Amino acid sequence: MSVLLTIVFGLLGLGIVIFFHELGHFIMARLTGIPVLEFSIGMGPRLASFARNGITYKIGMLPIGGYCKLKGEDSYKTAVLEKKEAVSFEKDDFLGAHPLKKIAISLGGPLFNVIFALLIFFCIELFGYTTYSFSNQIILINDYISEPLYPSKIAGFQTGDRIIAINKKETKFFSDIYTMIASSPNKPLDFTVQRGDNQLTIIASPILNKETGAGQLGIYPWVDPVIARVEKSSAAGLAGLLPGDIIIAIDDTFIKNTQELYNFLSLKRPQKCTIKFIRNNEERTTTLIPLYTNGNIEELGIYWESIRIFNKANNIFEAFAKGYNQAIGTIIDTYKGIISLFRGTNILNAIAGPARITWTVGKVTADSIAVEGFSNGLLSALNLLALISIALFVMNLLPIPVLDGGWIVLFIIEIFTRKPVSLKTIVRYQQIGLLMLVLLFGLSLFSDFLFFLKQ
């Protein structure tokens, strides 16, 4: 897929998420009787617009966001510009309304983000979706590196073990194992392990990966070296390897899993090597010429055979329950991610700006459609939009001035004091919020810059 198409998909997806956010503000304003002056999809100069019932509906030239402009929402700004000591409100002004109405309108945007995500999760569960994973058999990272020493090695795991349950919850696939470990940094977990004919229990606490904020046990999935797909112009494609080939040796070193193959290439760094493989029950050989960048081996262009998992709810009620649990679980995980920033997580890796989010949405959509077909590709893209929508919900409700959560704090204070917060307090509060947003935006742009440098 072209870069242009990736950007188009990304902007479209991000625009949908922001549209639902602003739609929430719009609907809540209408329900509470606060006049809406303008509702825009996109920013910047007007491409098209029309007016109905006193509301101007607009499409902006820049497909990056949107807004819902309410009557009187600039009252504080106007008072500051006119150097007034206090704010005067006209009838039906948003900022002059009852604080409960203002809270409802402020909550509307984030609430609709959750509803949007819940609808996506519900539809995905109802219609079914396909995922790919590997078996629950593991490889220890410390079999290949001595430092750092990971919890898996310390606790007594061995390469070839199968983790069949964590905290009594069945783990059929490596994706199940990864999900539970990633969400449990620094928490002791009860692993049920199958080792040959014996079953044993191992207690281990995943460490916090400061680059990602996720828990890490120090394991790889055991992946049999069976080729599922090969990129034509890649090193593997030029070597003549095909789907279905089973790699059994490299330069006469026999391998049992893909990690052994990559480890050989990383350590030996051969300019060319002999690959021994089985095709149609016949043993064959070919010459592979690996490519290196800055001393590191590039991707071989091989997609390894994985386990295809089709997930589908049995009925509409189960689909709703699973979608609801997915939404709640994602909200909880998002808050955990924010908390992890205060535990030493690399903030530049954890924060993504608009350019990176747009690129990620577009790339996931384009790549998923190319590899999995339109329907599965679309589901992958929608799932990512649901995750971003929930992230927008969480971020907007943080008690930071300028954001919805910051305004809600002021409106709650107004309920208890029974009078509007003073103009002087508002100005200082918003200045702090603006400074925080500028710093956050600057960090996100720098994070995006570093991300694209690595692409």
Residues 99, 165 within the same domain: no
Residues 213, 233 within the same domain: no
Residues 365, 368, 369, 373, Cα dihedral to 10°: -150
- The answer as to whether 381 is a domain residue is no
Which structural domain range is residue 189 located in?
Answer: 138-221
Residues 242, 290 within the same domain: yes
Residues 245, 282 within the same domain: yes
Considering its fold, how many domains does the chain have in total?
3
- The answer as to whether 188 is a domain residue is yes
Q: Which pLDDT belongs to residue 86?
A: 67
Using CA atoms, how far apart are residues 417 and 412, in angstroms rounded to an integer?
A: 9
Residues 167, 271 within the same domain: no
Residues 205, 237 within the same domain: no
Using CA atoms, how far apart are residues 168 and 259, in angstroms rounded to an integer?
A: 29
Tell me the backbone φ, ψ of residue 6, rounded to 5 degrees.
-60, -45
Closest CA to 230 of 221, 216, 240, 220: 240
Q: Which of 172, 205, 221 is at the close of a domain? A: 221
Residues 150, 244 within the same domain: no
How confident is the model over 33-73, as pLDDT tens digits?
999 999 998 877 888 888 998 899 998 887 667 889 898 88
Is the torsion defined by CA of 341, 342, 343, 344 positive or negative?
A: positive
Which structure tokens are listed for 62?
């820049």
Q: Which pLDDT belongs to residue 452?
A: 45
- The answer as to whether 86 is a domain residue is yes
Residue ranges of the chain whose pLDDT lies below 70: 1-11, 63-64, 80-82, 85-86, 295, 340-378, 433-434, 436-438, 440-455
Q: Which pLDDT belongs to residue 418?
A: 83
Q: Which of 221, 244, 270 is at the close of a domain? A: 221
Residues 149, 217 within the same domain: yes
- The answer as to whether 174 is a domain residue is yes
Residues 215, 232 within the same domain: no
Q: What is the CATH number of the domain that holds 155?
A: 2.30.42.10
Contact 39, 68 (CB under 8 A): yes
- The answer as to whether 344 is a domain residue is no
Residues 250, 177 within the same domain: no
Which structure tokens are listed for 267?
């350590």
Helix runs in 249-310, H state only: 258-268
Contact 345, 208 (CB under 8 A): yes
- The answer as to whether 422 is a domain residue is yes
Residues 216, 256 within the same domain: no
Bridge partners (DSSP) of residue 249 are 254, 276
Q: Which of 176, 206, 221 is at the close of a domain? A: 221
Residues 80, 149 within the same domain: no
- The answer as to whether 63 is a domain residue is yes
H or E element, residue 199? strand 198-204
- The answer as to whether 385 is a domain residue is no
Closest CA to 91 of 111, 75, 80: 75
